[in-house]
C-alpha cells in the first residue's frame, strides 16, 4: 500500500490524463463516424421526403421526364430478387457453416475452405455478376430475375457460411457431449441441439447478408437488367430498387433526381425495419428458450 502512495501525484496525474486522452479519442472517432452517417441520412430525408407519397409506392414509373409515377415495379422486383437470393444463399450458406464447424473441424480442407470464404466475402460483387452473366444470361440469351437472384444468392453464401460457423463454434462443447451421451446420433445433436442454441446468431448473420444484397447494384446490371413494368415472369428482366436509383440519379430530370432520393430513403428504412422486426421476433423466442 505504501508504495502506492509513493507514486507521486505527478505520475498519477499523467496516468489519469492518458486514460482521459485514450477514451477521448475513441469518443471523437465515434462522433465523427456517427456524424457522417447521420448527415447522409439527414441529406437523404431532406432531398427525398418530398418524393414519397402513396402513388410513389403503388404506381409504375410515369413517362420519361414527367412528374408523378412511382417505383412499385422496383419494390416488387427487389422483393422477388431478395427472395430468390435467400432460397439460394441461406441453405447453402448455413450448410457450409455447419460442415466447417461440426464435421470438417480442423482438417486441411477446412482451413483452405475458410480462406476461400474470407476471400469471397471481400470480392467485389460485380465478379458474381459477371460469373452469372456468363453461365446463365449468355447461354439463355436473356437477363432474368432468376439470374439476378442467383448472383445475389452467391454473394450471400460466404457471409452466411462465415457467421454460421462462428456462432456454432461458440456453442459449448458440453451441449454436444450431453446430446451424444444420451445416445443421440451426431447429426441429430447438430440439428436438434447445437443449431437451436446458436439460432439467434445464425439469424443475425442471415439478416446481415440479406441487408447486404438488398443494396447491391453492380451484379444486377449484368443479370436482372431492370424493367419499367411490373414483373411478369422470373425468366424475364426485372427491376430492382438500386437499379432504379441508378437510372434516375444519372438522368437529366429534376423530378427523377428527387425520386432517386426518395427510393434511396425507402431502401434505407426498409432494410432498417426488416432487421428490426427480425431481431424482435428472435428475441421473443430466445427469451422463451433461455
CA dist 247 and 123 (Å) reads 25
Give the number of other CB atoms < 10 A from CB of residue 87.
13
255 with 66: CB under 8 angstroms? yes
Q: Residue 48 or residue 97: which is nearer to other proteins going by CB?
A: 97
Question: What is the DSSP code (8-state) at residue 65?
Answer: T
Residue 2 C-beta: closest distance to other proteins, Å: 37
Q: Which stretch binds other proteins (CB under 8 A): 122-130, 135-143, 191-199, 234-242?
A: 191-199
CA dist 111 and 131 (Å) reads 25
CA dist 169 and 167 (Å) reads 5
Instruction: Report 94-133 residues binding other proteins (CB under 8 A).
Output: 105-106
- Choice from 121, 180, 208, 278 touching other proteins (CB under 8 A): 180
By CB under 8 A, the count of residues binding other proteins is 23
Using rule CB under 8 A, residue 178 touches other proteins: yes
Give the number of other CB atoms < 10 A from CB of residue 123.
11
- Choice from 4, 183, 232, 252 touching other proteins (CB under 8 A): 183
Strands (E), 150-211: none
Q: Residue 187 or residue 235: which is nearer to other proteins going by CB?
A: 187
121 with 188: CB under 8 angstroms? no
153 with 224: CB under 8 angstroms? no
Using rule CB under 8 A, residue 172 touches other proteins: yes
The closest alpha carbon to 125, from 208, 212, 205, 207, belongs to 212
- Choice from 177, 272, 279, 283 touching other proteins (CB under 8 A): 177
Using rule CB under 8 A, residue 91 touches other proteins: no
Residue 281 C-beta: closest distance to other proteins, Å: 17
Using rule CB under 8 A, residue 196 touches other proteins: yes
- Choice from 76, 197, 218, 249 touching other proteins (CB under 8 A): 197
The radius of gyration computed from the CA coordinates of the chain, to the nearest angstrom, equals 25
Residue 277 C-beta: closest distance to other proteins, Å: 23
Residues within the interface to other proteins (CB under 8 A): 105-106, 172, 174-185, 188, 192-193, 196-197, 288-290
Amino acid at each position: 500500500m505504501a508504495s502506492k502512495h509513493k507514486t507521486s501525484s505527478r505520475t498519477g496525474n499523467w496516468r489519469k490524463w492518458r486514460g482521459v486522452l485514450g477514451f477521448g479519442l475513441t469518443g471523437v472517432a465515434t462522433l465523427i463516424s456517427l456524424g457522417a452517417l447521420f448527415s447522409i441520412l439527414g441529406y437523404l430525408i431532406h432531398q427525398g421526403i418530398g418524393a414519397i407519397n402513396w402513388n410513389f409506392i403503388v404506381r409504375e414509373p410515369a413517362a420519361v421526364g414527367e412528374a408523378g409515377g412511382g417505383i412499385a415495379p422496383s419494390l416488387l422486383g427487389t422483393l422477388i430478387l431478395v427472395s430468390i437470393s435467400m432460397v439460394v444463399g441461406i441453405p447453402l450458406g448455413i450448410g457450409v457453416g455447419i460442415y466447417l464447424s461440426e464435421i470438417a473441424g480442423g482438417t486441411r480442407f477446412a482451413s483452405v475452405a475458410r480462406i476461400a470464404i474470407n476471400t469471397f466475402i471481400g470480392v467485389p460483387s460485380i465478379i458474381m455478376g459477371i460469373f452469372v452473366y456468363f453461365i446463365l444470361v449468355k447461354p439463355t440469351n436473356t437477363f432474368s430475375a432468376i439470374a439476378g437472384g442467383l448472383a445475389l444468392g452467391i454473394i450471400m453464401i460466404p457471409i452466411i457460411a462465415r457467421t454460421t460457423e462462428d456462432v456454432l463454434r461458440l456453442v459449448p462443447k458440453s451441449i454436444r457431449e450431453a446430446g451424444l451421451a444420451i445416445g443421440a446420433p451426431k447429426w441429430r445433436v447438430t440439428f436438434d441441439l447445437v443449431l437451436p442454441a446458436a439460432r439467434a446468431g445464425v439469424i443475425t448473420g442471415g439478416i446481415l447478408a440479406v441487408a447486404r444484397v438488398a443494396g447491391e447494384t453492380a451484379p444486377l446490371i449484368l443479370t436482372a437488367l431492370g424493367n419499367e413494368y411490373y414483373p411478369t415472369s422470373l425468366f424475364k428482366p426485372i427491376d430492382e430498387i438500386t437499379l432504379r436509383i441508378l437510372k434516375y440519379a444519372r438522368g437529366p430530370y429534376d423530378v427523377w433526381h428527387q425520386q432517386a432520393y426518395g427510393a434511396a430513403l425507402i431502401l434505407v428504412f426498409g432494410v432498417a425495419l426488416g432487421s428490426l422486426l427480425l431481431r424482435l421476433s428472435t428475441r421473443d423466442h430466445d427469451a422463451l428458450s433461455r
